[in-house]
Structure 1
């Protein structure tokens, strides 16, 4: 469900993907690469595509380069499957953020940021406000916040793993549904491709 021509064009022309472009240039052995060369490299080096997709998820951009099917213009026997396809696309877009590794997610960054804030607050209360007689209470509060952060991090990690698995299963089902709709000549995949990201324009 990813438009490789769009991927190649975006890697070449959009600054967000400069690190990916540098990897492409390193593999190509030259600084100037055209879209055809990028496509060749994408086919031979799937890690480049993974880096592109990872960048998209980090910046809340979708890796699903298909638009919903307009069900009004379809034959009756195609309409139900097309509606299911559209529902699946919506679910995939909602689950897409979970394809990011939890260790690289914003959730983990937020947890660590809060813990650093709590740590500096603890030091502030004890040292600057001269609350040494309360230090054990303050340290126990900090320790409990660390325990809570650890528990919450583990919970979120499991949520990411569970939703990533749901995403992968639903992705395959949706691909099969797309192929079935194409075989029945209900749609053409080419008509559903999104050729430009609105966020980049």
Structure 2
């Protein structure tokens, strides 16, 4: 569902992917690479595509370069499958963020940020406000916050794993359904491809 021609075009022309472009240039051993060369390099070096996808997920951009099927243009016999494809595409876009490694997710960054703030606050209360007689209680609260953060982190990590599994299952299912719809003459996959990202335009 990721349109490789679009990927190559975006890597070449959009600053968001400069680090990926630098990797491509390093592999190509030249600074000016064409889109067809980027496509070839992606074929031989799948990590380039993975890096592109990672950036998109981090910036809330979808790697699903397919639009929903226009139900008004679909024959009656195809509507049930087309509706299911649209539902799957919607779900995939919604849970795509869970394909990111939890260790690199914003959720973990937020947890660490909150804990850093709590630690700073603990030091502030004890040292600057001269609350040394309360330090055991304050440190206990800090320890409790670490326990809560650890529990929440584990819960979120489990959520990432579960949703990533659902994502990949639905991804394969949706691709198969699109292929069936195309074979049955209901749609043309090429009509569903989103050639460029509106967020970049």
TM range (shorter): over 0.9
Q: What are the residue-to-residue correspondences of 1:23-34 with 2, within 5 Å? A: 23-34=23-34
Q: In structure 1, how many angstroms separate the alpha carbons of the residues matched to 2:75 and 2:195?
A: 26
Aligned to 2:76: 76
Whether 1:169 and 2:169 are equivalent positions in the alignment is yes
Aligned to 2:46: 46
Identify the residue that residue 142 of structure 1 maps to in structure 2.
142
Structure 1 match to 2:198: 198
| 2:119 paired with 1:122 | no
Could you list the per-position Cα deviations for residues 119-139 of structure 1 after superposition, in whole angstroms to 9, with x for gaps in the alignment? 010000000000000000000
Task: Report Cα offsets for 1:157-179 as digits up to 9, x if no partner.
Answer: 00000000000000000010011
The structural deviation recorded for 1:11 is 0.1
Gaps of 5+ in 2: none
Give structure 1 regions of 4+ aligned residues with deviation exceeding 4 angstroms: none
C-alpha displacement at 1:75, in angstroms?
A: 1.2
Cα distance in 1 for partners of 2:74, 2:116 equals 56
Structure 2: distance between partners of 1:88 and 1:48: 26
Q: Partner of 1:99 in structure 2? A: 99
Structure 1 CA distance for aligned equivalents of residues 143 and 127 of structure 2: 18
Separation of aligned partners in 1, 2:180 and 2:22 = 38
Aligned to 1:66: 66
SS at match of 1:30: coil
Q: For residues 52-101 of structure 1, give each alpha carbon's deviation from its aligned partner in whole angstroms, at most 9, with x where no partner exists.
A: 00000000000000000011111111111101100000000001010000
Q: State the partner residue of 1:184.
A: 184
TM-score (norm: length of structure 1)? 0.99
**How far does residue 152 in structure 1 lie from its aligned partner after superposition?**
0.4
Unaligned runs of 5+ in 1: none
Q: Distance in 2 between matches of 1:185 and 1:26?
A: 43
For 1:83 and 1:43, the matched residues in 2 are separated by: 32
> Post-superposition shift, 1:141?
0.3
Name the structure 2 match of 1:10. 10
**CA–CA separation in structure 2 for the residues paired with 1:12 and 1:75:** 39
